[in-house]
Amino acid sequence: MKELVKKKWSYVLYEDGGDYILSVMSGGVGLYEIKVYLSSEEKDKCLKDEPYLEHMVSLAKTSSDYFKGRYLK
């Protein structure tokens, strides 16, 4: 996996064989990782627009419906 963008203890955007994966740290007392697939269009927006990337991070933490079917297990 190749790191495209990283914010320590918050998120990493990876490219992995043509797939784009947003890995987000979440939790309070106990931290856990949420990984979701992004579309190519979402990835392009994330690379160009940091507020959009922060919005996607927030969605990954709070809106399970938005990424329905795109979570990595």
pLDDT digit string (tens) for 17-26? 999 999 999 8
Q: How far is CA 24 from CA 58, 71, 73, in A?
A: 9, 11, 14
Query: Is residue 9 domain-resident?
Result: yes
Task: Give a yes or no: residue 73 inside a domain.
Answer: no
Instruction: Examine residue 32 and state whether it is found in any structural domain, yes or no.
Output: yes
Distances (CA, A) of 58 to 17, 27, 64, 67, 69: 25, 12, 11, 12, 17
Closest CA to 16 of 28, 29, 4, 8: 4
pLDDT of residue 55: 96
- Rounded to whole angstroms, the Cα distance separating 22 from 4 reads 10
Please give the model's pTM, rounded to 2 decimal places: 0.89
Q: How many structural domains are present in the chain?
A: 1
Q: Domain range holding 18?
A: 2-62
- The tens digit of pLDDT for each residue in 49-69 reads 999 999 999 999 988 789 999
Domain membership of residue 31 (yes or no) is yes
26-44 residue pLDDT tens: 888 888 999 999 999 999 9
Residue 53 covered by a domain:
yes
Residue 70 lies in a domain: no
- The reply to whether 8 falls in a domain is yes
